[in-house]
């Protein structure tokens, strides 16, 4: 359903802001200079250097009397989740979460995404190692807003989002950030296991597969973790929220299919805009009618929805039927499932994309 339009720039890599540099400094700097990206590289490098220099090992934090006990409890919880991910979910131990970094802001960063207004075509940035990615991340909200404004002026549907997670894909030991100390144990497990999944299976340039696989591991893994530490009772409060979330995603997917069908029919720009407007109005009406208690449907129905909202959702939630079938074939064995996913690296991106299109029976 989604296509891409690639633009060579050095970006960070996704809603959870990940980047990986694996070039010699000399050739890397030549490449960056040739793309006019030195200011952006400096912006990223300055923050990454701070993370590496000032992150604190958990043990050091535990022995610091000035750190609140509540923070220490959360870090111990992260340790348990990380160990569970390694021992029970067969996730890579290179996924970080062994140190802590206290931010001087409310979020790690912000990232910008964009989509063509009359078809599902993502605006992407290209750079070495990771290939094409449909997001550009910043550690400054002002810089992120400037990029969003630039893209909007060019006519793209845009969205500026908060970066919830951070991963260098195993190249560095990534810390847990103060903005990630979620109260809810399930949310914390989801975050940690999602990022660990990226260090386990990652195909450069294939954002849809990478994020959808990590989201599947996040969902199945966090449920398994909660069950292991608290039994069925621990899952009860989460199950209603999960049910609402699935209903919300299904509504988004249904509308995305309808929009894509209209775009595929072709017609004048004015025609397509009119059909798009009608479908979005129906979507917002249906959204407003929901009686959810965990999702603020009335507030969501008031926002200005655009193509990037739907493409962004598909980027993280494609291939659910495919992943569930494969997971079931291995009887819920995470180690065997992950090994099979790694083998898909032999396929092309388009071949993996076709696998994700598998429909539920």
> How do residues 173-216 score in pLDDT, each as one tens digit?
899 999 999 888 999 999 999 999 999 999 988 989 999 999 99
Burial profile 249-268: b = 16 or more Cβ within 10 angstroms, e = fewer: eeebbebbebbbebbeeeee
Other CB atoms within 10 Å distance of the CB of residue 144: 21
Instruction: Give the count of beta carbons closer than 10 Å to the beta carbon of residue 190.
Output: 23
Residue holding tokens 């208690």? 293
Q: Would you say residue 290 has pLDDT above 90? A: yes
Our measurement of the distance from residue 66's CA atom to the centroid of its chain's CA atoms, rounded to an integer in Å, reads: 33
- Which pLDDT score, from 0 to 100, does residue 127 have? 65
Reported as a pLDDT band with limits 50, 70 and 90, residue 129 is low
* Domain boundaries defined on the chain: 3-356
Taking CA atoms, 257 is separated from 34, 124, 311, in Å, by 40, 22, 11
Contacts of 53 (CB under 8 A, 6+ apart): none
Dmax (CA) of the chain: 67
Q: Is there a contact between 263 and 272 (Cβ–Cβ < 8 Å)?
A: yes
Give the alpha-carbon dihedral of 204, 212, 171, 176, to 10 degrees: 150
Mean pLDDT of 152-179: 90
Summarised one tens digit per residue, pLDDT across range 230-270 is: 877 778 778 888 899 999 999 999 999 999 999 999 999 99
The residue with greater pLDDT, 142 or 23, is 142
Instruction: Return the structure tokens found at 87.
Output: 């021992």
Q: Which two tokens stand for residue 191?
A: 């975050």
What's the pLDDT band for 170 if we cut at 50, 70, 90?
Answer: confident
For 334, the token pair is 């995470």
The three-state secondary structure class of 138 is strand
Q: How many CB atoms neighbour CB 224 within 10 A? A: 18
Range 240-246, long-range pairs (CB < 8 A, 24+ positions): 240/293, 240/294, 241/294, 244/292, 244/293, 244/294, 244/295, 245/294, 245/295
- Residue 221, judged by CB atoms within 10 A of its CB (0-12, 13-18, 19+), counts as buried
Across residues 16-21, what is the average pLDDT? 32
Residue among 92, 320, 105 at smallest CA distance from 195:
92
pTM: 0.84
Q: Compare 74 and 29 and report the one with higher pLDDT.
A: 74
Cβ atoms within 10 Å, residue 218? 21
Beta strands in the chain (DSSP E): 3-8, 56-57, 99-101, 109-115, 121-127, 131-133, 136-138, 157-163, 176-177
């Amino acid at each position: 359903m989604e296509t891409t339009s690639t633009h060579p720039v050095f970006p960070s890599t996704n809603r959870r802001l990940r980047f990986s540099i694996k070039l010699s400094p000399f050739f890397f700097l030549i490449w960056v200079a040739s793309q006019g990206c030195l200011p952006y590289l400096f912006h990223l490098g300055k923050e990454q250097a701070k993370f590496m220099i000032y992150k604190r090992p958990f043990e050091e934090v535990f022995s610091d009397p000035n750190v609140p006990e509540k923070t220490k409890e959360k870090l111990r919880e992260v340790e348990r989740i990380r160990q569970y991910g390694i021992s029970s979910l067969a996730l890579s131990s290179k996924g970080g979460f062994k140190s802590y970094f206290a931010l001087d802001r409310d979020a790690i960063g912000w990232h910008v995404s964009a989509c063509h207004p009359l078809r599902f075509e993502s605006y992407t940035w290209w750079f070495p190692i990771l290939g094409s990615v449909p997001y550009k991340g910043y550690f400054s909200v002002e810089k992120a807003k400037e990029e969003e404004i630039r893209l909007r002026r060019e006519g793209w549907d845009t969205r500026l989002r908060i970066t919830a997670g951070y991963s260098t894909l195993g190249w560095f030991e990534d810390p847990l950030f103060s903005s990630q100390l979620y109260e809810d144990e399930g949310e914390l497990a989801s975050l940690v296991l999602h990022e660990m999944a990226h260090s386990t299976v990652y195909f450069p340039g294939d954002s849809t597969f990478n994020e959808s696989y990590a989201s599947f591991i996040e969902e199945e893994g966090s449920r398994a973790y909660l069950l292991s530490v608290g039994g069925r009772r621990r899952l009860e409060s989460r199950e209603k929220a999960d049910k609402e979330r699935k209903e919300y995603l299904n509504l988004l997917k249904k509308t995305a299919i309808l929009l894509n069908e209209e775009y595929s029919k072709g017609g004048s720009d004015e025609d397509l805009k009119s059909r798009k407007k009608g479908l979005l109005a129906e979507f917002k009406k249906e959204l407003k009618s929901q009686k959810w208690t965990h999702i603020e449907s009335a507030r969501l129905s008031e926002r200005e929805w655009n193509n990037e909202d739907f493409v962004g959702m598909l980027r993280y939630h494609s291939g659910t039927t495919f992943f569930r079938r494969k997971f079931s074939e291995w009887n819920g064995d995470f180690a065997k499932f992950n090994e099979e996913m790694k083998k898909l690296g032999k396929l092309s991106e388009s071949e993996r994309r076709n696998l994700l299109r598998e429909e539920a029976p």
